[in-house]
Amino acid sequence: MKPKYDLEERTARVGEDVIEFCLRLEETAVNRPLITQFVKAGTSVGANYGEAEEAELKKDFRHKIAIGRKEARESKHWCRMLAKAVAAEKAAIRVLWHEARELHLIFCKIIRTTDANLRAPQLTP
Protein backbone atom coordinates (compact mmCIF):
# COMPACT_ATOMS: atom_id res chain seq x y z
CA MET A 1 0.00 0.00 0.00
CA LYS A 2 1.31 3.41 -0.95
CA PRO A 3 1.75 6.10 1.70
CA LYS A 4 -1.15 8.42 2.45
CA TYR A 5 0.76 11.36 0.98
CA ASP A 6 0.73 9.83 -2.52
CA LEU A 7 -2.00 12.13 -3.75
CA GLU A 8 -2.51 10.36 -7.06
CA GLU A 9 -3.15 7.07 -5.27
CA ARG A 10 -5.19 8.75 -2.57
CA THR A 11 -7.53 10.51 -4.99
CA ALA A 12 -7.96 7.32 -7.03
CA ARG A 13 -8.69 5.33 -3.87
CA VAL A 14 -11.38 7.75 -2.74
CA GLY A 15 -13.08 7.32 -6.13
CA GLU A 16 -12.92 3.56 -5.74
CA ASP A 17 -14.28 3.80 -2.20
CA VAL A 18 -17.20 5.95 -3.40
CA ILE A 19 -18.01 3.38 -6.10
CA GLU A 20 -17.82 0.45 -3.68
CA PHE A 21 -20.01 2.26 -1.16
CA CYS A 22 -22.64 3.27 -3.71
CA LEU A 23 -22.82 -0.23 -5.19
CA ARG A 24 -23.84 -1.52 -1.74
CA LEU A 25 -26.79 0.86 -1.45
CA GLU A 26 -30.30 -0.13 -2.34
CA GLU A 27 -31.56 2.34 -4.89
CA THR A 28 -34.73 4.26 -4.11
CA ALA A 29 -36.42 7.20 -5.79
CA VAL A 30 -34.78 9.49 -3.24
CA ASN A 31 -31.22 8.20 -3.15
CA ARG A 32 -30.81 7.29 -6.86
CA PRO A 33 -30.00 10.88 -7.94
CA LEU A 34 -27.86 11.37 -4.83
CA ILE A 35 -25.84 8.25 -5.66
CA THR A 36 -25.37 9.41 -9.26
CA GLN A 37 -24.13 12.84 -8.18
CA PHE A 38 -21.87 11.40 -5.49
CA VAL A 39 -20.25 8.96 -7.92
CA LYS A 40 -19.67 11.75 -10.45
CA ALA A 41 -18.10 14.10 -7.89
CA GLY A 42 -16.17 11.48 -5.94
CA THR A 43 -14.56 9.90 -8.98
CA SER A 44 -13.72 13.17 -10.71
CA VAL A 45 -11.46 14.35 -7.87
CA GLY A 46 -8.76 11.91 -8.98
CA ALA A 47 -9.35 12.54 -12.67
CA ASN A 48 -8.80 16.26 -12.19
CA TYR A 49 -5.74 15.69 -10.05
CA GLY A 50 -4.30 13.52 -12.83
CA GLU A 51 -5.04 16.24 -15.37
CA ALA A 52 -3.33 18.80 -13.12
CA GLU A 53 -0.22 16.64 -12.88
CA GLU A 54 0.02 16.63 -16.69
CA ALA A 55 -0.57 20.37 -17.09
CA GLU A 56 1.93 22.20 -19.23
CA LEU A 57 1.31 25.62 -17.66
CA LYS A 58 1.02 26.66 -14.03
CA LYS A 59 -2.31 28.34 -14.74
CA ASP A 60 -3.71 25.11 -16.19
CA PHE A 61 -2.38 23.20 -13.17
CA ARG A 62 -4.11 25.64 -10.84
CA HIS A 63 -7.35 25.42 -12.81
CA LYS A 64 -7.47 21.61 -12.66
CA ILE A 65 -6.64 21.61 -8.95
CA ALA A 66 -9.46 24.13 -8.42
CA ILE A 67 -11.87 21.79 -10.20
CA GLY A 68 -10.67 18.93 -7.98
CA ARG A 69 -11.25 21.14 -4.94
CA LYS A 70 -14.79 21.90 -6.13
CA GLU A 71 -15.51 18.20 -6.66
CA ALA A 72 -14.17 17.33 -3.20
CA ARG A 73 -16.43 19.98 -1.66
CA GLU A 74 -19.35 18.69 -3.70
CA SER A 75 -18.60 15.16 -2.48
CA LYS A 76 -19.00 16.39 1.10
CA HIS A 77 -22.41 17.78 0.18
CA TRP A 78 -23.57 14.48 -1.34
CA CYS A 79 -22.31 12.64 1.74
CA ARG A 80 -24.52 14.85 3.87
CA MET A 81 -27.55 14.24 1.66
CA LEU A 82 -26.93 10.48 1.59
CA ALA A 83 -26.56 10.43 5.37
CA LYS A 84 -30.07 11.86 5.55
CA ALA A 85 -31.47 9.51 2.89
CA VAL A 86 -29.74 6.33 4.15
CA ALA A 87 -29.37 6.89 7.90
CA ALA A 88 -28.22 3.31 8.50
CA GLU A 89 -25.01 4.07 6.55
CA LYS A 90 -23.98 7.17 8.51
CA ALA A 91 -20.77 5.61 9.86
CA ALA A 92 -19.52 4.65 6.40
CA ILE A 93 -20.58 8.00 4.99
CA ARG A 94 -18.71 9.81 7.77
CA VAL A 95 -15.46 8.10 6.67
CA LEU A 96 -16.02 9.19 3.06
CA TRP A 97 -16.95 12.73 4.15
CA HIS A 98 -13.77 12.98 6.23
CA GLU A 99 -11.57 11.96 3.29
CA ALA A 100 -13.37 14.41 0.96
CA ARG A 101 -12.79 17.14 3.57
CA GLU A 102 -9.09 16.34 3.82
CA LEU A 103 -8.70 16.38 0.04
CA HIS A 104 -10.58 19.68 -0.14
CA LEU A 105 -8.19 21.18 2.41
CA ILE A 106 -5.14 19.79 0.58
CA PHE A 107 -6.33 21.29 -2.70
CA CYS A 108 -6.99 24.63 -0.96
CA LYS A 109 -3.37 24.63 0.24
CA ILE A 110 -2.06 23.71 -3.22
CA ILE A 111 -4.04 26.59 -4.73
CA ARG A 112 -2.74 29.09 -2.16
CA THR A 113 0.83 27.96 -2.82
CA THR A 114 0.33 28.04 -6.59
CA ASP A 115 -1.23 31.51 -6.44
CA ALA A 116 1.71 32.80 -4.39
CA ASN A 117 4.13 31.34 -6.95
CA LEU A 118 2.18 32.83 -9.85
CA ARG A 119 2.32 36.30 -8.23
CA ALA A 120 6.01 36.08 -7.36
CA PRO A 121 8.22 38.22 -9.60
CA GLN A 122 10.09 36.21 -12.19
CA LEU A 123 13.80 36.87 -12.07
CA THR A 124 15.69 36.69 -15.31
CA PRO A 125 19.38 35.83 -15.34
> Any idea what the Cα angle at residue 26 is, between residues 38 and 74, rounded to 5°?
10
Whole-angstrom distance, CA of residue 43 vs CA of residue 96: 12
Instruction: Tell me the pLDDT tens digit for each residue of 88-103.
Output: 999 999 999 999 999 9
DSSP 88: G
Domain ranges of the chain: 7-119
The CATH code for residues 7-119 is: 1.20.1440.60
Instruction: Tell me the pLDDT tens digit for each residue of 33-72.
Output: 999 999 999 999 999 999 999 999 999 999 999 999 999 9
Predicted TM-score of the model (pTM): 0.88
Whole-angstrom distance, CA of residue 79 vs CA of residue 119: 36
pLDDT at 43: 98
